[in-house]
Chains A and B, each alone.
Chain A
Amino acid sequence: MRYLTLFLLCLVSAAATSSPRRAAGQAEGPTQVVEITAERFSFSPSEIRTKAGTTLQIRLRSDDTAHGFKIVGTDVNVELPKRGRGVVTVTFVPKAGRYTFECSNLCGAGHDFMRGTIVAGE
């Protein structure tokens, strides 16, 4: 029973993070940890360069109000708590290509300027 629980834990862990997703235990690429700070009206850094298949662990923190972090074209869309209220970690394994991320929580007059990109090379 406990092994079944462990297996389910692993599966749900991967599902809770991002798409494309990967269950723990399968062959993995390298891990890259990226810290992004959000504030009105920019992400810093706003450009992430990585290699396809790398497990990106994106730690997101807001320096003011509650922002959102959405990777366009994927199901990654989380709310960033306000300043001092915590860090949200998103795990994302990109395929080769370019992904746009953006603030998905209306945060003020310049909300639509809050965008960035993930560039995953071969």
Chain B
Amino acid sequence: MLPSSTVENYLKAIYLGAMSLTPPQRLVPMGHLSSALGVVPGTATTMVKALAESGLVEYEPYVGVALTPAGEKLAALVLRRHRLVELFLVRVMGYGWDEVHEEAEQLEHVVSERLIDRMDEMLGRPEVDPHGDPIPTADGHIKRQEAQSLMTCPIGTPVTVMRVVDQDRSFLRFLEKHQLKPGAAIEVEDRDPAADSVRVRGSDDQRITIGTRAASKLLVQVAHTALVLMLLVLPALAQDGPAPAPRSPQKVLSGYMDFHYNKPEFADGALDFHRFVLLVTHSFSDRIRFVSELEVEHALVEGGEEKGELELEQAYIDFLLSRSFNVRAGMVLMPVGIINERHEPPNYYGVERPFVDTVIVPTTWFETGVGVHGEIGRGWRYRGYITAPLNAAEFSAEEGIREGRQKGSRANAGRVGTTGRLEYVGVRGLTLGTSGWSGPSGFEFRPRFDVPVRLAEADARYSRDRFEAKAEFAQVWIDNADLLNDALARRVGVNPNIGRAMRGYYAEGAYRIVSGARFGDVGAFARYEKFNTQHRMAAGDVPLRQFDRDAWVVGATYWPDPDIAVKMDYSIVSSRSSVIQAPNSFNVGLGWWF
């Protein structure tokens, strides 16, 4: 007998009936079946006898009916079609989850296996439909769910809604309105069957009282059970659960913020709203774009005093000519190191940026200039800019070239600097880069002498699943450092003791201890850094050992959202000096991107 829609409906009803019986029974009573199908018992019995003759069910008169293996597989395939159609309608066609059941009831009997397989593939082989119902595989296998209803789950224990077993439209709308859809984190606060009420607290502390019948239709898992499940299957659950139809990006305003508490040893802690950054973009056309990044550092800017800074860190126009050749002009970030171009707080571990990316590579390093960038194929890409140079008169022994950044503020451009980066991103999870900067930076001392500065850098990042590692090496050479020290000593009365070479490197390993959990991700990291701003001294200058430093930074980051990072770390800094030591510090940070 060919499985007509009536046959399929019977098989499906028997399948679902057997699943819903409490306690579980092999045979579904005929009364239960006829009620589910909306037919009189006699009609159901006649049909079941025919199904038994076809070998699809086992029928025991006056007891009930059960599916044979062949019948069970056919029923599972009907459910597969039904649930995939529902998910397709929601995710691809923009239906509401309350609108799809009736459509799927019709389409489950007419869609071909080929179309269903294509839908399945297009949807990414989902495991559940928009209501949390498991989707059988193409061979009829269905994953069992361990869930309990709101009537039986423990009171006062966080649970996660996994499934809704009623497809009534008004009920589904009610659940959506009160944020009780699958995936919602809730808690049963009180349950009173006598009063037909179950009080539920939502994740946003909203409280709602529902009837016991409604509560019995919401299947949940205790949060820690759900957590274990999510750790195992979350990628599938997250990607395949109810999701909105794809939408087009619209953002033109973004930003990031960085709020810190730093507690150095032997000193009071400080609260600092370190960075408030707004990015504004505008597209003149598909191929011509403007991008800007305006930053307020340390929250307060006062004229003439050492407070915060208001900086225009990026403001450029990109002329996107081709994949391999594009022109950029304006205030640009130097393409040097890991952090300088990738400095959004949720991106990196640690409250503060690495020391090497502060005193050797002077992050955030930006300057006015013009240049080109592009991809040259097989994962290789480049950028190269001509920019205003550094100002050697601002170099220091402790912070190297950092204070020499002109930051595009009436920057001397009598001679220019050049910078470039070559990067390989051709292997998933791996980024290899090398970059350099070179420029005559002694414009305040010309024509007597110049101060050519060169920086070379190499870095690597690798991430796979929960593991992430990165390493960076950077070295700076300052020519004529002896002349520079002499000239500055005459100017300020003290020899600044600027080194002729500075070197730093670091290695960091990190692991996401929790990944994909409903409450977010947690990662831990450790980083070792070595940095010396007096790696080599000019003849006659003596290196100060307190500038030969290394640091261990260990800590953790909690991401309640991929764009929000709550960070905590402890930084142990030591120097070669037995007299002057940098203090260790305990740091807490909150950073976010939007």
Contact = CB atoms under 8 A, between A and B. Distances in A.
Contacts of A2: 106-107, 109-110
B74 interface: no
Interface in B238-271: 238-241, 243, 245-249, 251-252, 254, 256
Nearest to B425: A42
Given A105-B249, A117-B375, A85 B428 contact: no
Interface in B308-350: 313-314, 318, 320, 322-323, 326, 328, 333, 341-344, 346-347
B461 to A, nearest CB: 10
Given A40-B347, A87-B239, A109-B343, A78 B248 contact: yes
B373 interface: yes
Contacts of A9: 88, 93, 107
Nearest to A55: B118
Nearest to B344: A108
A84 interface: yes
Contact of B428 (A16, A37, A47, A88): A37
Contacts, number: 168
B249 A68 contact: yes
B58 interface: no
Given A86-B243, A106-B279, A116-B375, A100 B342 contact: no
Interface string B360-382: 00000000000001010111010
A78 B247 contact: yes
Interface string B118-154: 1101111000000000000000000000000000000
Contact of B246 (A1, A24, A79, A98): A79
A96 interface: no
Interface stretch (B171-179, B285-293, B395-403): B285-293
Nearest to B243: A86
A84 B346 contact: no
Contacts of A70: 249
Contact of A46 (B111, B256, B425): B425
Contacts of B240: 86
Contacts of A62: 562
25 contacts: A6-B111, A9-B88, A37-B429, A41-B341, A47-B377, A57-B122, A63-B463, A64-B346, A64-B347, A65-B344, A77-B248, A78-B247, A78-B248, A78-B249, A79-B248, A83-B562, A84-B521, A89-B123, A100-B323, A104-B248, A106-B281, A109-B344, A110-B342, A113-B341, A117-B323
Given A79-B248, A82-B561, 10 more contacts: A13-B88, A17-B122, A44-B428, A68-B249, A81-B243, A86-B240, A98-B323, A106-B254, A109-B313, A112-B291
Interface of B: 88, 92-93, 103, 106-107, 109-111, 115, 118-119, 121-124, 234-235, 238-241, 243, 245-249, 251-252, 254, 256, 279, 281, 286, 289, 291, 293, 313-314, 318, 320, 322-323, 326, 328, 333, 341-344, 346-347, 373, 375, 377-379, 381, 383, 425-429, 431, 463, 515-516, 521, 561-563, 593
